[in-house]
Amino acid sequence: MDENNEMVNSNEQKFEANKVGVKIPPFWEEKPEIWFIQVEAQFSIANINQEETKFNYLVAQLDPKFIENIWDIIQSDEKNKYSCAKSRLLSTFKESEEKSIKKLLTGISLGDMKSSQLLRKMKSLAGDNITEKVLRILWLDKLPDSIKNILVVSSENLENLSVMADKIFEINSSPEIYSSTADNSAIKNILEKVSLLEKQISELHQQKKIKKRI
């Protein structure tokens, strides 16, 4: 009976191996959870479901320095080797909540990113550990004062705020806008544009609601 099962499993693995080619990217140790999403998307496209087939692809892709983290699983008689290896790699390389929050508070800045990109990165670090209200404060605090002072009075949600911030940066590409000493006339001009942006966003939302009703 066991021999028959082994033959069936072997045939299934051979069948899977002949399906759509799987292109697994190099292991991303900084974001292993995202890497596994990519890997499993490849498995889904290729209709690969067998644990052993998944595990073989995983082992074939990993660099030796990562293989040593699952060496005991490779040598074991464990049936669900892929699931065990995935759990091990995630627990080894995924950042702890404490480290993610610390990076969120002190280890990230706007730099060359758009404000919307900064927000997405901060959301990724925050996960479910920080409320949107707190994230809003942290995100605004990392923007130039001249931009923060404009956005802080807006009642828009974070996503809309980030769109507005990107637009403000585009409209005001001169170096002065990045300084906290922008003059009052410049601030007034930007506020008028922000008000217009808010109105446009609100109108878009209303249009979407009307379309949904129709």
Q: Mean per-residue pLDDT for 66-87?
A: 94
- For the cut 60, the answer to whether the pLDDT of residue 8 exceeds it is no
Q: What distance, in Å, lies between the first and last C-alpha atoms of the chain?
A: 60
Q: pLDDT tens across 156-194, in order?
A: 888 888 888 888 887 766 544 444 444 555 555 666 666
Return d(Cα 117, Cα 159) in angstroms, integer.
Answer: 11
Element (H, E) at 133: helix 132-141
- The residue among 183 and 201 whose pLDDT is bigger is 201
- The residue among 9 and 156 whose pLDDT is bigger is 156
- For the cut 90, the answer to whether the pLDDT of residue 9 exceeds it is no
Question: Model's pTM, two decimal places?
Answer: 0.51
In three-state secondary structure terms, 177 is helix
Task: Name the least confident of 56-65, 77-86, 94-103.
Answer: 94-103
Of the pLDDT bands very low, low, confident and very high (cuts 50, 70, 90), residue 43 is very high
Of the pLDDT bands very low, low, confident and very high (cuts 50, 70, 90), residue 97 is low
- The residue among 174 and 94 whose pLDDT is bigger is 94
Q: pLDDT tens across 11-34, in order?
A: 455 544 455 578 889 998 888 989
DSSP secondary structure string for all residues of 15-58: HHHTSSPP-PPPP-TT-HHHHHHHHHHHHHHTT---HHHHHHHH
CB atoms near residue 153 (< 10 Å): 8
In three-state secondary structure terms, 63 is coil
Cβ pair 72, 89 in contact under 8 A: no
9: Cβ contacts below 8 Å, ≥ 6 apart? 50, 52
Task: Name the least confident of 63-67, 131-135, 199-203.
Answer: 199-203
Cβ pair 193, 168 in contact under 8 A: yes
- For the cut 60, the answer to whether the pLDDT of residue 7 exceeds it is no
- For the cut 50, the answer to whether the pLDDT of residue 118 exceeds it is yes
Return d(Cα 78, Cα 72) in angstroms, integer.
Answer: 10
Cβ pair 122, 159 in contact under 8 A: no
Work out the percent of the chain whose per-residue pLDDT is above 70.
65
